[in-house]
A and B are shown apart, each in its own frame.
Chain A
């Protein structure tokens, strides 16, 4: 049996939910007079989740919007601290989500490679060594020294994917970023993901694209309302998901 590299035990996450108080003048005045701020209640995003991911596994996570998929990935990557339970992992983890958010539009593509690389925890030397392959993979050769504001959103996402995947972390978490770029780039990124997995690295993937999930995942789980509902082979879980609602 291969070794577990991610262990999620009894993890619960609650978000404080502020009642929508639009910042109107009346509302501010009312709060001031009553001397209280907006009342809060909480929303359970993850409810005692238990999950183990083994080395070399490609785990897919499916579920409706707002079911806790992204929250789970963010908790594994260390962004959210669980309110209850523990998350254990070994090795470097990279979360690919919202590609291009760490970019600065006034810096050039090349400068952004260094900046984003260091946000992901890599030294400038490492990024310098990877530079050529990143530029090649992104296919942005002619643009790399232009400021990022001249890039289209597709080009930014391609650069983001190229950087995040070039670094080859031990564990790669992917949140809905496989549909980046054009047809050709999608095929390339798919190949890159498979390559990462073949190097015995671990991937956890959130996507709504069941075709891709069926093709590359070794196991799927389905999450709804913060609970793992089904876990098993891709076919079974996707069938369960489609039968869930009439």
Chain B
């Protein structure tokens, strides 16, 4: 073995890929995004372009899909319960779009490392980028989809009021939860693929256990306590009631719990991802 001479320690050299403190995770991620925002926007554009490639209706599918789905649920609701509230279709549309955003983003970020393993092993770039852009692209689709509420609001004679501010807040909470849990599990999924299968089921079950087809007003006082464990109840209700022009109507204790859950899972997700990403690349 030949050792090279190591006498000159030039100051221009920077150590690359240094292990940083666990708690710096969110900060490091922010730095990465700032530095690579071109990559982020290109990846989001790629996702959006490819999603509606070769289709005549293109982006209108993001409006049409929740519209058709809510039609089905409306029929289902009439069959089971009889005459529903006039606003029910609007509630369901908003629920379907929000839940779709959450589940697409979550499943997309969980598989972000395994799906892009080939590229990740050949080029260095911030590896959280795939998860972030997955959430970003789905956020664009969900926001565009929510515009479908406008004709309903007109028809139902709902005039937007200050409650509308809850909509962006709800979307932010959903994004944080999806990205946080997604990043947290992306590394784990690279080691053990059971995660992605299990969470495909979780998002499917969550569809029924979250207020997508129903609203919290339909839930009995007794059951509400258990329903509120689900951190998605508050954000969905925020977006729904915001568009409907009603106040949130949830006990502030539950609201604080849900916000704390979303924010802390986001921060924890960033930290865990930054801590383990380098080791996980070897397992891809």
- A interface residues, Cβ below 8 angstroms from B: 1, 3-5, 7, 9, 13, 15-16, 37, 50-52, 74, 76-82, 86-90, 93, 95, 97-98, 101-102, 104, 106-107, 111, 114-115, 118-124, 221, 227-231
Contact = CB atoms under 8 A, between A and B. Distances in A.
Interface residues of B, number: 40
Given A4-B8, A101-B122, A227-B1, A124 B38 contact: yes
Contacts of A3: 8, 10, 12
8 contacts: A76-B16, A78-B16, A78-B17, A81-B281, A89-B13, A98-B118, A107-B49, A121-B36
A9 B6 contact: yes
Interface string B196-236: 00000000000000000000000000000000000000000
B192 A37 contact: yes
A81 B38 CA distance: 25
A15 B1 CA distance: 22
B119 A102 contact: yes
Nearest to A120: B123
B112 to A, nearest CB: 14
A104 B124 contact: no
Contacts of A5: 12-13
Q: Which 10 A-B pairs have the closest CB atoms?
A: A81-B278, A88-B13, A78-B124, A90-B12, A118-B39, A98-B122, A118-B38, A118-B42, A52-B4, A81-B17
A16 B13 CA distance: 30
B14 interface: yes
Interface residues of A, dominant DSSP: mixed
Contact of A122 (B10, B14, B38, B118): B38
Nearest to A54: B8
A50 B1 CA distance: 10
Interface of B: 1-6, 8, 10, 12-19, 35-36, 38-39, 42-43, 46, 49-50, 53, 118-125, 192, 278-279, 281-283
Contacts of B5: 52
A86 to B, nearest CB: 5
Given A77-B124, A114-B42, A50 B6 contact: yes
A107 B46 contact: yes
Contacts, number: 119
Contacts of B120: 79
A16 B12 contact: no
B1 A229 contact: yes
Contacts of A114: 42
A15 B282 contact: yes
A176 to B, nearest CB: 12
Centre residue among A76, A118, A228 by max chain B CB count within 10 A = A118
Given A4-B8, A81-B278, A90 B13 contact: yes
B123 A106 contact: no
A86 B50 CA distance: 40
A123 B15 CA distance: 24
A231 B2 contact: yes
A230 B2 contact: yes
Contacts of B192: 37
B46 A228 contact: no
A135 B55 CA distance: 29
Centre residue among B10, B38, B49 by max chain A CB count within 10 A = B38
B122 A228 contact: no
Nearest to A77: B124
Nearest to B8: A4
Nearest to A97: B122
A107 B42 CA distance: 12
A16 B38 CA distance: 34
A188 to B, nearest CB: 23
A104 B46 contact: yes
B16 A89 contact: yes
Contacts of A120: 123, 125
B130 to A, nearest CB: 11
Contact of B39 (A79, A97, A119): A119
